[in-house]
Amino acid sequence: MEDLSADYWNNRYLTNNFGWDVGYPSTPLSEYFQQLTDKNLSILIPGAGNSYEAQLLFELGFTNVYVLDFAEKPLEDFKLRVPDFPESQLIQTDFFNYTGHFDLIIEQTFFCALHPELRGAYTEHMYRLLKPQGEFVGLLFNDPLNTDKPPFGGSEMEYRKLFSKLFNIIIMAPCYNSIKPRSGKELFVIMQPKAELLG
């Protein structure tokens, strides 16, 4: 098993080995963002990488967007690309150590980057980071992918079992507007935390 530390990910950015990065906001998220009306929503994008999605949200006028990644390089590049974005909203830390309460958390290729052993901890931490009426929105691969290195795959059945412990699954359905290379392999999800399950 590969070491999936911050150094591992940072080195992938430093050596231009980041095939997951599409270079623009992905269509499903971009179309989802366009229909959000409340520009004051607090939004967290964990495992954000270069986060073209955060850039788009900022350009659309959302002011409470938080970009989190434990690798330094994509955050440094983000600063150069979007110089007006508040630096205090660029957070270089381990997701599992970060605390806060958000209206919306966006998932895209972060879940699949984590070792599957961390999936229970991931769902619990997402639950804790959401406000009671908050929403977890994003994309999950419905594809076996890899078992020994990222991207780690999974199936709708597995995700329903995992997330339904703590979340009401509002939508978990094949994504109809995926970018071409991910077409037929992604689920679009919207979930809300169930009431008061964790202390």
Nearer to ligand SAM, 59 or 132 (CB): 59
Nearer to ligand SAM, 134 or 182 (CB): 182
Nearer to ligand SAM, 78 or 163 (CB): 78
Q: Give me the residues that bind ligand SAM (CB under 6 A), please.
A: 9, 20-21, 47-50, 69-71, 74, 94-96, 108-110, 113-114
Cross-strand pairs, 102: 130
* Closest-approach residue to ligand SAM (CB): 49
Smallest distance, ligand SAM to C-beta of residue 32, A: 14
Smallest distance, ligand SAM to C-beta of residue 146, A: 12
Nearer to ligand SAM, 164 or 177 (CB): 177
Smallest distance, ligand SAM to C-beta of residue 55, A: 12
Nearer to ligand SAM, 75 or 162 (CB): 75
3-state SS string for the chain: CCCCCHHHHHHHHHCCCCCCCCCCCCHHHHHHHHCCCCCCCCEEEECCCCCHHHHHHHHCCCCCEEEEECCHHHHHHHHHHCCCCCHHHEEECCHHHCCCCEEEEEECCCHHHCCHHHHHHHHHHHHHHEEEEEEEEEEEECEEEECCCCCEEECHHHHHHHHCCCEEEEEEEECCCCCHHHCCCEEEEEEEECCCCCC
